[in-house]
Each structure stands twice: as structure tokens, then as C-alpha cells.
Structure 1
Amino acid sequence: MTRIDHRLLRAAVLAAALPAAAAAAPVDDYMASRDKAVTAAVAAAKAGKAGDDAEIKAEEVARKDLAKRMSALVGPLKFKGLGTPSFTLDMFVYGDDLPATRLDGMAFANADETTRVVATPEAVFQAWLAARAKDKDVPEAAAVREGGRAAVDTGYLVNNALVNVGGGVVPYTALPVTAAPGETVYANLGLFTDEAPANALPNTIVLLRVADGRAVMGMTAVALNMKPVLACDQAWKPYNTKVQALLKATETVSDLEDPRWAELAKVEEEGSNVFRTCLAKAPESQAAFATATKRAEAFLQTLRGN
């Protein structure tokens, strides 16, 4: 009798594992095809052949194949108010010969792109996080070891997942959204801007939902009608004085190696960090943050799809 029980146990374990193994195979095939296409594109770029007709055609064929695979992996998804999805990897090479760092997935957006969503298999998302943790010369890469939390709390990850052109997101503060059973959710309130953040108030919600074998990340504009916080503006003021002096000093400087450019970037970042830290703790901000959390909860419902 014991032998029969062991056989039944092994059969049950095997049966439980089969769906996961079957699901992993298409993802593995996608990742292998994707890596092959990117490697070929990087090699062509290094050889100075990126603009050749044959290389352009090869990339188009590879991209269409990957888009078809990704669409099948993500499955039929619809998000209220968002249009027909498109494949995110519009290029395989970044700069001269570096692999593109965009998150593989299907991208959705509304008409004016104030709301953007990317859906991808969870396994692809985790592989992307692992790859970004190894990015060279990226200060935020170390934070990626935090996993999904870092995806919404790190501007580098948000911008490589959701932003195409026209600016970037600077995270300000986490939002305590409530996840349903079986899902993992992280949210952040931040600023979408094409300039240095300085002491600007937040205007964007970023949210990540992981459930049902998918990772869905989205960003949406939010108007909170926040009023300036005097103490935080005062904390930013001395940094702004230095920024303005450096801007004036570099008005006619064309040498990008001039140390004043690096000093300008450093002071801007330090001052903005001080301002954001102050804003997150200021009593005057809490009502607006509560409103942002409610908006994030509504956005989460949108990200649940269909």
C-alpha cells in the first residue's frame, strides 16, 4: 500500500508541475529569440552595419516575430480608455552598440499618452529586473535588488519601462494601495517632467501589479491641486541659489567636460532630494497624498484589465 501511495504522490506532483513547465517553454523560446536578435543587432552596430538595408530588414523581421510571440504570451488584454497595444521593443540597440534596456511587453496608451501601461509575463519582467541590476554606470542599478518595489520607486526603471520620449518620471513617495488576494501591488507618486525636478510638485502616479502570471506597470497623470509647502521651498532655496549661479557661469561654456556641468547636475539632484524628502514628511502634504492614494486605487482597478 505504501508503494502505491508514493506513486500517487509522484503523479500528483508531476501533474501540478506540468502547467508551469508548459507555460515556461514559450517564455523561454521568446527570451532565446529576443537575445539572439539583440546580439545580432549589437554585432552589426559594432561592425558599422546598423544602417545597411539587409540589417534593417533582418531587424524588422525579428521584431515582428517577437511582437507576435509577446502578444500571445500576454494574451487578450483590454484596459479601459486605452487603445490597441503595440510591441515595446522599437529598437534593439541603444547608442552606438549597447543593448536596448526597454522592458519587453505590450504597451497601451490613451490618445494623449497621459496614461501608459505595459503588460508582460512575470518571468520576462523578473529577467528584465535582473538585467537592469547589472547595468553599468547606473547608480540606481543597486536598488533593483529590492525587486518589484524598486520598479516604481526608481526613476531609471520607470523610464525604461514606460517612457518613450518627452521627459521622465522622478519618484517622490510610495503610496499605500491595497492589493487583492493573489496579487502584489506597489505604487508611487512622482513627477513627470522634461526638466530638472527642482521644487516642482508631483503630478503622476506609477503603479505595478503582479498577478495571474503577468506584470503590469502603468503611469497616469494626476491633478492634486497641492499647495506649495513653505518649509520645503525654503529647504530648496539655497540649492537653487547655487543652481542659478552655475547656470549663469555656464551660459557660454560649450565644453561638456567643464567641471561646472557636473557640479550643476550634482547640486540640482541634491536640492531636489532634500525638497522631496521634506514634502513626503510635511503635514501640509498628507491630504494630497491621501487623495493620490485613492486615485492610485482607481488606477489599480484599471490595471486589472478587461
Structure 2
Amino acid sequence: MRLVWTLAFALATSAAFAASPEDDYIAARDKAISDIAALVSSNTPVETIDATNEKARADLEKRLTDILGPFSVKDFPAAGTINTESLSASDIGFGMLDGLRHGTEDGPSIVASTRGLVDRWLQSRAAETDADFKLPAGFNEALKLDAFYTQAIGSDAAFSGTLDFALKTPEGADMAIARLGGWTQDIGPIPNQQVIVTLVKGNSVMIAEAPATPAVPQIAACDTLWTTADAAAQKIASQASDDQDEKAFDAANAAWAKGDSDYRACMGKSLPENPVFPALLAQAQALADHMAGK
């Protein structure tokens, strides 16, 4: 009898500590990253590295498909591709949120993940020693930051928020957050704005982005703030005697940064009174509703 109980306990303990599909995915991802780093260090031909990268991404994509299960959101393709664009730390698109992207990078898309994968990803970002990549480990806190969207679903540009929408959480969902903003490699006005909606429903996390419809209009008062700041910054920069005049360049960059901040604050304050705002809010709400299965 003692042997039977010992075997039963051993089996139960083994089951309790068995790796989950998410554990297996993370282990496979980290091994692929390590293997590719070793290839890079040994000066392996780039063609071999690229082939190894694509093979590993295909394997991880299949694992994510199994973890996430069927995807069905109105107006978005059922099949997804891995969100992480590269497993090589030297490439653009490395370290993006673990999940599947349904749609295209240039058009409407949804990145689907799980709370477990998002939490693990945020923990890795919270442990970053580089301040440019560090994020809070808390999910709710991270969602308020432009840097979250830049690192999670962007690759070659940074997300710059304009305003937050006040959404009604769809029935059955736990959380719905929507933001208006744009992708940029510089500061100043971003003509092509995106509506970004994050929805949490149980273990599911989905982040949708779609071009703002209608387009976000220019607002003269806000444009004036930016053009004035830009002119002042350029004047300061022109006074620098050479590339070593760090004080002048720092002052110019500070003027540009303040102008950018003032411009975005102006847009965030002015847009809710603009005639296009109800349509933008309706677009964000529709995205949230569709992700919730409405």
C-alpha cells in the first residue's frame, strides 16, 4: 500500500510541475535566441542566420497557434503570423510581444496573446537595465505608456499618443482601453493617426490598430504651437559653432521636445470638440466590441 501511495504521489507531483504550453514556448524561444546569438558571434554567413531565424519563427508561430486556439474577429483574418519579427538581438523587430498578428502591419491588424505571455514579457521589460527599454511589470500601468505600444507591436517607429478614448467595456470583457496616436521616427505632428484598442477577456489579450477613420484633422492653434517651437529650436541649433557645441544642441532638442509635448497636449484637448471626434470614438468602440465577440 505504501508503494502505491508513493507512486501516486510521485505521479501527482510530476503532473503538478509539468511544463505548460506557454513554458514550452518560452523555452523554445529563448533557445532559438541563444542559438542565433551563437551563430552571429561565430561570424556565420548571414544567409544561414536568416534561414535559422525563419525556421525558428515558423516553429514558434505554430506553438502560438496551438496556445491561442481559433481566432474569430469581424473584418480580420483568422490566420495569424508571429508578431516577433526577428529572434536576433541585432535586428529591428527583436523582442516584440509574444503573440500572433492578424492582418497587416500597414493596415488594420490585431495582435493576439495571453495574460500569461504578456505578464512574462512585461517582467522581462521590467528587468531591463537600459532605461529606453524598461517598462513597469504591472499590466494596467504599462498600458498607459506610449513605450508599451512601441515595444509590443511596433518595430521601426515609436508610438506617440494623442489622447485616450473613454470606452464602454463590452459585455463579457474584463477591460477595454483605447488610444489615438501615431507611429513616428521624429517629433512633431503625425498626419496618419491610428486608433489602438486593447481588450482583455479572460486569459485573452488583443491589441488592435487601425487607421483613424475619418482622418484626424489639423487644428490651427496646435499647428501654430509646433511651428513656433520648431522655428525657435532651429534658431538655437543654427547658433551652434560645430558638432561639439553640445549645450546649444541640448537646448534645441529641449525646445523641440517641449514643442512636441505642447502640440500633442493641444490636440488632446481640442479634438473632443471637433466634429470628427464622435466617429473616431465610434471606431474605437466598434473595434472593442468586435474583439469581444459582438
Place the TM-score, normalised by the shorter chain, in its bin.
Answer: 0.7 to 0.9
**Does 201-210 or 114-123 show the bigger shift?**
201-210
Counterpart of 1:278 in structure 2: which amino acid? C
Number of the residue aligned with 1:87: 82
Number of the residue aligned with 1:5: none
Choose from 194, 197, 211 the match for 1:207: 197
Choose from 122, 130, 135 the match for 1:129: 122
Q: Deviations over 1:216-272 (max 9, x none)?
A: 11111013455544443343343111233367679xx8x6x7636655544332211
Is the 8 Å Cα contact of residues 96 and 154 (structure 2) preserved in structure 1? no
Q: Deviations over 1:31-90 (max 9, x none)?
A: 111112212223333x24353665555434432221111110111113333333211233
CA separation in 2, counterparts of 1:40 and 1:155?
Answer: 32
Number of the residue aligned with 1:169: 159
Q: Secondary structure at the match of 1:100?
A: coil
Counterpart of 1:191 in structure 2: which amino acid? G
Choose from 40, 50, 63 the match for 2:57: 63
Choose from 162, 166, 183 the match for 1:192: 183
Is the 8 Å Cα contact of residues 208 and 217 (structure 1) preserved in structure 2? yes
- Structure 1 stretches of 4+ moved >6 Å: 21-24
CA separation in 1, counterparts of 2:93 and 2:109?
Answer: 23
Q: Deviations over 1:175-228 (max 9, x none)?
A: 1111133421111111234543x1446721111111131211111101345554
When normalised by structure 2's length, the TM-score is: 0.77
When normalised by structure 1's length, the TM-score is: 0.75
Choose from 97, 120, 123 the match for 1:103: 97
Q: Secondary structure at the match of 2:20?
A: helix
Number of the residue aligned with 1:36: 31
Q: Deviations over 1:149-197 (max 9, x none)?
A: 533x4333213332345x443111111111133421111111234543x
Counterpart of 1:185 in structure 2: which amino acid? A
Q: Deviations over 1:116-163 (max 9, x none)?
A: 211112211111122222334334735x34524533x43332133323
Number of the residue aligned with 1:11: none
CA RMSD of aligned residues (A): 3.6
CA separation in 1, counterparts of 2:98 and 2:122?
Answer: 11
* Cα distance, 1:258–1:67 mapped onto 2, change above 3 Å: farther
Number of the residue aligned with 2:6: none
Choose from 142, 152, 155 the match for 1:150: 142
Counterpart of 1:157 in structure 2: which amino acid? F
* Cα distance, 1:161–1:305 mapped onto 2, change above 3 Å: farther
Query: How many angstroms does 1:287 deviate by?
Result: 4.9
Q: Which has the higher helix share?
A: 1
* Cα distance, 1:161–1:140 mapped onto 2, change above 3 Å: closer
Counterpart of 1:150 in structure 2: which amino acid? A
Count of equivalent residues = 278
Counterpart of 1:134 in structure 2: which amino acid? A
CA separation in 1, counterparts of 2:236 and 2:128?
Answer: 30
Q: Secondary structure at the match of 2:86?
A: coil
Number of the residue aligned with 1:120: 113
Q: Secondary structure at the match of 1:282?
A: helix
Number of the residue aligned with 1:271: 259
Q: Secondary structure at the match of 2:106?
A: coil
Number of the residue aligned with 1:241: 231
Q: Deviations over 1:85-134 (max 9, x none)?
A: 211233112327x9922111111115x83212111122111111222223
Q: Secondary structure at the match of 2:180?
A: strand
